[in-house]
Amino acid sequence: MLDDLLGKTELRERIAKLEDEKERLENQLEAEQERRAEASTAKQEAEERINRLEDRIADLEGQLDRTESDDDLTFRDRKDVAGDRRDELLDRLRSFESEAEGILTAYVADGDDLPDPVVDTLGDRAPLVRRAAPCLVAADDAGLLATALDPPVPPGAFCEWDDSVAVEPAWFAPRGRYGLALVRADLFAVGVYEGTERVDFSGFESDVKSKHSKGGYSQSRFDRLRDEQVQEHLDDCRMVLRTLRGDVDRLFLAGDQKAIEALDEPADAIVTVDATGEPEAALGDARHDFWTTRVYGL
């Protein structure tokens, strides 16, 4: 009663309202500060991404400029060789001789920078090497020899001058006891070879869904089931290869690049081929493609 007469009750009510308003404003301020902090972080991240994209665009534009400037360059010749014809060309290449350190041989992997000796020797023809990579390059200091080949079993990167071309038959032609496997998402075939002769074979096809039909399954469920079937198929392939590995000196893989990557098994060489059909016939086609060498005249 006395408080009401003295006005204390009203003051307390006003104080309580003001405290509520203060708390509300403090909450708003805190939320605004958090929003601004998040906005500032988002802005910084966006700026960093923009900078990375600008760098990437500049890099790609540089690559485009280089590519466009090289558009008028063409290979003098380009052919695929296998069997006796391949062996003949390799013998001819090995017979090329010069004075000491007159012949350059280099292996250039796909995406690698060209070694300085390759650029210096081939001059304005050097971009063709990048176009042919991965490849083995052979050139001489007199400009009589300038060629590139893609060896099925590539050596490690090297670049050297000598009096002859550094080329090993085992990079291009079958040697010793080896296994060659054809790997696709629904097909597997593997042969064991002694040189050019096949001494063992194993192959199978798996029932993998290849096309989504209307009704029955959603697209996502179809994709999930197909992925599971492919994985089961690759598990079977992996089991065969691991059993085979101790019986061969080297193991080569050919087939669909995506399936081979998903298989994730070590190999001495990998080649992408389009061989299809029944396992045994497809393996024969894959073997021919694997041991075929493309030769470029630079």
What is the percentage of the chain residues whose pLDDT exceeds 70?
89
The pLDDT score that the predictor gives to residue 2 is: 44
The pLDDT score that the predictor gives to residue 59 is: 72
Q: What is the mean pLDDT of residues 192-220?
A: 77
Q: Say if CB 252 and CB 175 are below 8 A apart.
A: no
Q: Which CATH class is domain 177-291?
A: alpha beta
The pLDDT score that the predictor gives to residue 46 is: 75
d(CA 203, CA 130): 37
What is the percentage of the chain residues whose pLDDT exceeds 90?
61
The pLDDT score that the predictor gives to residue 7 is: 53
Q: What is the arrangement of strands in the sheet containing 103-108, beginning at the earlier edge strand?
A: 77-81, 293-297, 146-149, 135-140, 103-108, 158-162
The pLDDT score that the predictor gives to residue 104 is: 97
Structure tokens at 214: 């209307």
Condensed to tens digits (0 to 9), the pLDDT of residues 38-70 reads 777 777 777 777 777 777 777 777 666 666 555
Q: What is the mean pLDDT of residues 112-136?
A: 94
Handedness of CA 164, 166, 171, 176 (dihedral sign): positive
Q: What is the mean pLDDT of residues 275-288?
A: 94
Write down the domain spans for the chain.
Answer: 12-69, 77-171, 177-291
d(CA 153, CA 290): 9
d(CA 70, CA 157): 24
Q: Of the ranges 3-7, 208-212, 220-224, 279-283, which one carries the lowest mean pLDDT score?
A: 3-7
- pLDDT interval class at 212 (50, 70, 90): very low
The pLDDT score that the predictor gives to residue 262 is: 92
The pLDDT score that the predictor gives to residue 4 is: 52
Tell me the H-state helices in the chain.
Answer: 2-6, 8-69, 83-95, 116-122, 127-132, 219-244, 257-263, 279-290
pTM over 0.95: no
Structure tokens at 86: 């391949």
**CA neighbor of 87 nearest in space, from 293, 297, 298, 296:** 293
Length of the chain, please?
Answer: 298
Tell which wins on pLDDT, 232 or 2.
Answer: 232
